[in-house]
């Protein structure tokens, strides 16, 4: 019996990956077999001086020289609004994370596999590391080095594959390779894919975050309070917490361990609740850390150079209320209002003769 085996080179599902002499990479988009490769990330080191030729350094941003201009101005009053008329105070602070993202993933640990329906991602299932005689990595490395352009396909994003986008110019005299977009798109339909405009990122594998030194700077917290640090919904850092300054500021340097957390959009949280429950906290601040290559920076139809940071504010439960004896209210609660998180005026009684107020506080 004779036969012909044809591999469409969409993945490593037909290979014996248990053999260490299998050392190759496959381009799943162009369906090609390639030699293995080793990729490395090259970061950018900014100068230490404040000014450079033609640009200005502002934190971790390099801004080209420019002239400021007024976009819009308004000098006329269009209305009146009372600001914090009851003297209520919230301590939802603002948290800055530097750096706010990582440059690349870690290749010292096998990634987690989120979806491998047809076995095309079997190359990521084995913790095989192939080294040369000098003990240097020479190909397969925990799955890395076996998917050509994995830095695009699984990290920075690649152009979306549209099976109907196959326009051909009949006057073109250059060689055009055969199109397999319909087959590739069908194979990718079984993967976990995120779409960013006209590009896609295959999230079927989840590599780990490399070791990173992160500086957290918070302000607007409750002064002199003890707060705790959480990352990805787990408490990290000092188990005994951190003390906020009298001005409500706090700075933490956190060493993110290597190969502990998988890549993705991760949340840093600073709160005085030891369990990380913001609903039970009197002060908190949070921000996101982006361990991903392609970050969606679109917001309300606008595209920004980096994700916008948000600062939370506690909503007022009562928009307006009138007191007959406001001086008495001030005298009763002026010493304790700074420690209240919510005010519930659902029970309010006024006795005309004795001028007494009854309030219910939700602490």
What DSSP assignment string belongs to 219-283? ESPPTT-EEEEEETTEEES-TT-EEPPTTS-EEEEEEEPTTSSBSEEEEEEEES-TT--GGG-S-
Asked if 24 and 9 touch (Cβ cutoff 8 Å), the reply is: no
Task: Tell me the sheet residues that pair with 289.
Answer: 266
What Rg, from alpha-carbon coordinates, does the chain have? 29
How far is the C-alpha of 153 from the C-alpha of 138, rounded, in Å?
Answer: 22
Going from the first residue of the chain to its last (363 residues), give the mean pLDDT of each consecutive group of 10, the final group possibly shorter.
80 87 88 90 67 70 80 79 70 90 92 87 90 90 92 86 57 60 58 81 92 94 95 94 95 96 95 92 93 82 70 46 39 36 35 38 38
- Burial zone of 279 (CB within 10 Å; 0-12 exposed, 13-18 middle, 19+ buried): exposed
Query: Looking at the domain 94-103+209-303, which fold is it?
Result: Immunoglobulin-like (2.60.40)
- The DSSP call for residue 182 is H
Q: Which helix (H) or strand (E) holds 193?
A: strand 193-196
CA 114 to chain centre: 19
Give the domain ranges of the chain. 25-35+107-165+179-206, 94-103+209-303, 326-362
């Amino acid at each position: 019996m004779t036969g012909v085996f044809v591999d469409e080179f969409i993945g490593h599902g037909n290979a014996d990956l248990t053999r260490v002499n299998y050392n190759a990479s496959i381009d799943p988009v162009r369906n090609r077999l390639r030699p293995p490769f080793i990729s490395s990330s090259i970061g950018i080191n900014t100068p230490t001086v404040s000014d450079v030729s033609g640009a200005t350094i502002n934190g971790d941003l390099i801004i080209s020289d420019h002239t400021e201009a007024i976009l819009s101005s308004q000098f006329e009053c269009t209305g009146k609004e009372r600001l914090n008329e009851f003297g209520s105070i919230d301590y939802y602070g603002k948290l800055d994370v530097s750096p706010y993202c990582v440059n690349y993933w870690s290749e010292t640990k096998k990634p987690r596999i989120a979806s491998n329906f047809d076995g095309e991602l079997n190359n990521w299932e084995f913790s095989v590391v192939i080294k040369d005689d000098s003990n240097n990595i020479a190909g397969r490395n925990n799955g890395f080095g076996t998917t050509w352009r994995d830095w695009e396909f699984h990290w920075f994003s690649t152009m979306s594959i549209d099976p109907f986008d196959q326009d051909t110019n009949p006057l073109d005299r250059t060689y055009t390779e055969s199109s397999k977009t319909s087959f590739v798109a069908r194979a990718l339909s079984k993967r976990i894919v995120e779409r960013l405009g006209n590009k896609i990122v295959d999230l079927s594998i989840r590599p780990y975050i490399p070791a990173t030194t992160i500086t957290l700077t918070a302000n607007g917290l409750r002064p002199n309070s003890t707060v705790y640090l959480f990352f990805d919904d787990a408490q990290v850092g000092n188990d005994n917490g951190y003390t906020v300054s009298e001005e409500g500021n706090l700075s933490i340097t956190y060493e993110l361990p290597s190969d502990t957390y998988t890549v993705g959009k991760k949340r840093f949280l600073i709160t005085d609740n030891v369990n990380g429950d913001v609903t039970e906290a009197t002060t908190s601040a949070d921000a996101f850390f982006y361990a991903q290559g392609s970050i969606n920076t679109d917001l309300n139809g606008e595209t920004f150079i980096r994700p916008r940071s948000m600062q939370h504010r506690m909503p007022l439960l009562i928009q307006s209320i009138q007191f007959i004896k406001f001086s008495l209210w001030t005298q009763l609660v002026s010493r304790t209002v700074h420690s209240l998180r919510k005010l519930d005026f659902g029970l309010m009684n006024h006795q005309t003769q004795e001028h007494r107020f009854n309030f219910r506080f939700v602490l």
